[in-house]
Structure 1
């Protein structure tokens, strides 16, 4: 029996559900409604369109075979009716109709439905400060805004820009403005670090150092208090609590909020923060109404708590689940790990699961294994260091998250993707240690970096490895009097260690080449607690085991070693 399906929203989840449903039920009448004229585009590609990596906006709206996804495409090629420039005004759940209005003609009509899907997406958060309505102030809300930004840049109207918000979109926009166009760009972030809640502080610091090396000025713990008017209605600057920045372009990237007003007005269950509540079949509190995409609340597979994950990749998968269930093919969406990846100039940063800081806040007996292996076989040309951090629960040995920072290549995505799959299945440290990864020297080491991170975690859980917290070590380096009995045991080549011995003295910085420890360990003073240091941490652990064997238990390993420290931009490193 034919059914009428109405889908409100036609960017990601909506089109995916509509096309899947048409393939499952070709005789059903499927109508998509969207208030925009541009539909079914890759919103995550907007920063790359602005940067020039994507040359034309039409590429974000085209299929893989170069056909524009517009209303005609959906009707003629997919058998789905698309009403663009049409806004859904209200839902009558009793009569099962949606009241819509054409924004060009003003004509209203009621669309009957047997089943309804809400794919209303998200809207950008606007700062409640003076000047947000000035010309030259943009929130990355849709493709139209991106087209206008690029037009102004190409016409030479932009020389200085301020990006407000240090999340992924803000960083990508700062890169886009600086890299191709050479615009003097400043990035503001109210939190103490970039990418808050996505990565831990040391990963954010490594990213910030690289951005600053590429001429992006960054101010954390700081945000805009006012956008300044040039007297003609155009933005000319940004005022913060600490400074005034000149700007003829301001991009607000301070996060998004679910568009759930329609659902709330219809009496559907909505979380206090705005996400539409759904079950695993993505049904709302009305079983005839489904919801998917950036408008819904989802479940964290790590904590079991309600969370928000506005990503195009998830929206597409959720859209397919909705279509399956509407068509009578039971399907579930269990939740998310919260996987994230982005490029920033020549670097890549990624994470999945939760951070160490979040794990502690959630009450886990959390710890982290920090490593700095090569991203491929150490003997292979162009190998480079990748920083990995495995977050785990010491009691259950369950892995809670993985973070990575390194060169812009596929080595990080491969490890984070593999970790996401295991974390979703409550994978343990041992599961990660035994995880089979494809191996060849151009792609990885024989002992894969994700296995090596698990080995470090295992050694920590089994009390074979004692590490020093990175922030505690850095605090000591800034003020060595806070731990008067500490000293560094530097296992690197004498030529590498010598400048530090000269700078800090032998009492605070002892150099003993890794290959000589077994022969010369008796030279080490017995009244010191040593922080054992090498480039990556592997040799440090071996020496700690050896010293423990001798009954010398007063040592800690600096996991990740100088490979991590050198990427943090600390001022005490010898150049």
Structure 2
């Protein structure tokens, strides 16, 4: 191929990946990256860990795995890529195939010709649309400048209280970062009725919120921020919500981001109603000589088949390689995403892939779910921890639609979610997951892995063997609106059940599962039975025994006492959630 010039606008994630890929495949080409910042090629997803102190120095986010600082000189000498920092792309002349650039230090403008152009313009943070959002001490932490300013201020002892607006992944990570190392009194305000809205179903969201509350984070969900103002009190800022007023030293806004597509739209490229630059499978825009990827585009959801916005550093890097391959003469395709995500919350990891139950039903699927609690290693291995998985599936086709997981051993949680994420684009069924082969050794898994177990549970639900009750229904019929005809049958041992029997009296009956066949006369007649155990394993066995004896109006509580406790539905002093 003839020598060409490729101009890349944006040098954080996708830009460097595309540039280096092009130079490896076409070393004689002229590749130029342009960015308006002086910091380039950094791991923005590491910002919360820099603020928390887990990453001690800001430069670590800009280094390679072999400890080289990714500066313009590094890209020039090691990669053969020219980088122009503090340079803004003002406009694109598609007819002349040139980009108008402005030097932000001198104000000088010039045109830079291109053969192929790459838009890696990323995203811009949504602005909190309230009075006072631009006051000093109110900031979105979306770049290294803001991260350094926030950490410096905290380190100087100027922050005792902080309000985080938004309980998405960034908001939760920032709340942890401020609380864990610095001891800042963190309060999160979220307009939705749960944390991580859209990413998790309500029960899992409650588990995350409760875990964070146990570490000192306060939440006000279902509230909107109406105003931020200065204060004459002990703290310089006052945040007024729809329900209260919060005095604070710092306000961090984490209300989402939107595609930075202005440059593309002004150049006449097709942009969606949500603002994402429209691309094909090869990541070409409506102009075949212009490519785009990363946070400025929308991607195809591999389950719904619809475009959605999913800004992720991992996607940007993969897309950068695809763009580089295609520009250099290859033919790579980006098929889309299943929306995999993971977030560390203190000692707990929560992860998901695919659709939530709510989203699946909204998309028209006949969706149901199976929830299982099981140890992530062999039950006898010392470092085992309980993991909770929730599998979402379509009742008609038995296709897997999504999965959510939470547990203390983060590597174990991520391994399971990643396995299902890889299967989702293949339209895998619950039978596929029931029989999926996983590497086994007691330090890493059970002989019947929790993934196999959750699929087996889904099979039992669909085939009519297991009738289940969700936490939400349990709360309504047993806790919030208790009915005399609803009784919990606790099939655990007497010691585990005793605190619940003492609290709920005749509404909570204890008959250990292994004695149930001999004590069927003690099971109340004419009552709706909720069968419970620690995690749902023994309650399912008891359900089969009850059905055989003619008790048809009985259901097994999904996840058992372990999930009830993790979600904060029931708290009994001195009672432990136990093991399977």
Which TM-score band (shorter chain)? over 0.9
Match of 1:537 in 2: 536
Aligned partners of 1:572, 1:7: CA distance in 2, in Å?
55
- Equivalent in the alignment of 1:239: 240
How far apart, CA to CA, are the structure 1 residues paired with 2:412 and 2:480? 37
Q: 1:548: Cα distance to partner?
A: 2.2
2:8·2:34 contact (CA, 8 Å) conserved in 1?
Answer: yes
- Please give the per-residue CA displacement for 1:147-199, whole angstroms capped at 9, x wherever unaligned: 11111111111111111110011111111111101111111111000000000
Which 5+ residue runs of structure 1 have no aligned equivalent? Answer: none
CA displacement 1:104-137 (0-9 Å, x = unmatched): 0111111111111100000111111111111111
What secondary structure, in the 3-state scheme, does the structure 2 residue paired with 1:205 have? Answer: helix
Q: Give the Å deviation of 1:530.
A: 1.0
Asked if the contact 1:433–1:451 (Cα under 8 Å) also holds between the matched residues in 2, the reply is yes
Q: 1:13 aligns to what?
A: 14
Q: What displacement does 1:485 show?
A: 2.5
Q: Count how many residue pairs are aligned between Structure 1 and Structure 2.
A: 572
CA distance in 2, matches of 1:502, 1:149: 50
Q: Is the 8 A contact 2:385 2:409 kept in 1?
A: no
SS in 2 for 1:37: coil
Quick check: 1:69 aligned with 2:99?
A: no
Give the equivalent residue in structure 1 for 2:547: 548
Shift of residue 550 of structure 1? 3.2
Aligned to 2:510: 511
Would the aligned equivalents of 1:227 and 1:235 in 2 still touch at CA under 8 Å? no
For 1:328 and 1:551, the matched residues in 2 are separated by 69
Structure-2-length-normalised TM-score: 0.97
2:578 corresponds in structure 1 to: none
Q: Report how far residue 384 of structure 1 moved.
A: 1.4
Q: 1:370 — aligned with what? A: 371
1:228 alignment partner, SS class: strand
Taking structure 1 as the reference length, the TM-score comes to 0.97
Task: Work out the CA distance in 2 between the residues paired with 1:38 and 1:131.
Answer: 29
Quickly say closer, same or farther: Cα 1:235–1:255, change in 2 above 3 A. Answer: farther
For structure 2, the 5+ residue unaligned runs are 575-580
Aligned partners of 1:500 and 1:574 also within 8 Å? no
Change (3 A) 1:571 1:533: closer
Q: What residue is the counterpart of 1:502 in the other structure?
A: 502
Shift of 1:549: 2.7
Q: Deviations over 1:415-440 (max 9, x none)?
A: 01111001121111011111111111
1:546 is displaced (CA, Å) by: 2.3
Determine the C-alpha separation between the residues in 1 that align with 2:349 and 2:502. Answer: 36
* Distance apart, 1:502 and its partner CA: 3.2
Question: Which residue in 2 is equivalent to 1:48?
Answer: 49
Contact 2:375 2:387 in 1 (8 A): yes
Establish whether residue 313 from structure 1 lines up as the match of residue 314 from structure 2: yes
User: In the TM superposition, what are the counterparts of 1:9-408 in structure 2 within 5 Å?
Assistant: 9-230=10-231, 235-408=236-409
- 1:135/1:235 contact within 8 Å kept: no
Shift of 1:526: 2.6
Distance in structure 2 (CA, Å) of the matches to 1:574 and 1:549: 36
Matched, 1:522 2:551: no
Per-residue displacement from partner, 1:340-370 (whole Å, max 9, x unpaired)? 1011111111111010011111110000001
Q: What CA distance in whole angstroms lies between the structure 2 residues aligned with 1:166 and 1:265?
A: 33
In structure 2, distance between residues paired with 1:345 and 1:381: 21
Q: Secondary structure of the equivalent of 2:186?
A: strand
Give the CA deviation at 1:286. 0.7
SS in 1 for 2:133: coil
Tell me the distance in 1 between the aligned counterparts of 2:386 and 2:435. 22
8 Å contact 2:166–2:253 — kept in the other structure?
yes
Cα distance change of structure 1 residues 9 and 524 upon mapping to structure 2, 3 Å threshold: same
Give SS of 1:505's match.
helix
Write out the 4+ residue segments of structure 1 that deviate beyond 3 Å after TM superposition.
571-575
CA distance in 2 between counterparts of 1:412 and 1:444 reads 11
